[in-house]
Amino acid sequence: ATQRTLVLVKPDGVRRGLVGEVLRRIEAKGYALVALDLRTADEALLAEHYAEHAGKPFVRPLIDFMRSGPVVAAVIEGHRVIEGWRSLAGATDPTSAAPGTIRGDLARDWGQKVIENIVHGSDGEDAAAREIALWFPGL
Ligand code: CMP
């Protein structure tokens, strides 16, 4: 079925000038942009966004990293886009992410407490609905 998913270009991706490259790959794949916004996320939004990671050791560094500069938030649409976007993004750990993916081609491990991996994608249908409502209320 046609789905929507939340895309974030994280602060590392924005700082490194990779917004165009990420959007290019989404458009080249054929997914449709439904919403697009540059913003700096606040603590409350990020605590909610990462609620499933609450209590994990990397959640504080993760939230601090995600607040460290603007992110590009987008909603994209297409048949099976949740799985398709995760496939374009590649594995969470950029060291093992396959070449050809955004993380495999453009990210690496710098030894920080938090994995900086350029983009975020919703995990599944429930997460996508929750995250889209959080980042784009009223969409
Ligand atoms: P993402 O999958 O978009 O959402 C959770 C984020 O937490 C993940 O990307 C990484 O940026 C970060 N992350 C996940 N697991 C770890 C880990 N073991 N150590 C550090 N950061 C992590």
117 known ligand binder: yes
Strand order in the sheet with 71-79: 32-39, 71-79, 2-9, 119-121
Cα gap 68→88, rounded to integer Å: 25
Mean pLDDT for the chain?
97
> What's residue 11's pLDDT?
98
> From ligand 1's centre to the CA of 120, what distance in Å?
9
pLDDT digits (tens, 9 = 90+) for 39-97: 999 999 999 999 999 999 999 999 999 999 999 999 999 999 999 999 999 999 999 99
**Number of domains the chain contains:** 1
Cα gap 99→62, rounded to integer Å: 24
pLDDT digits (tens, 9 = 90+) for 12-37: 999 999 999 999 999 999 999 999 99
> From ligand 1's centre to the CA of 113, what distance in Å?
10
pLDDT tier for residue 1 given thresholds of 50, 70 and 90? confident
**Region for 18 from its dihedrals, namely left if φ exceeds 0, alpha if ψ lies in -120 to 50, beta otherwise:** alpha
Looking up residue 129, the CATH number of its domain turns out to be 3.30.70.141
Specify the DSSP element, H or E, that contains 107.
none
Boundaries of domain holding 19: 2-135
Cα gap 123→61, rounded to integer Å: 21
> What's residue 82's pLDDT?
98
Can you tell me the ipTM of this complex? 0.91
95 known ligand binder: no
Instruction: Determine what percent of the chain is predicted with pLDDT higher than 70.
Output: 100
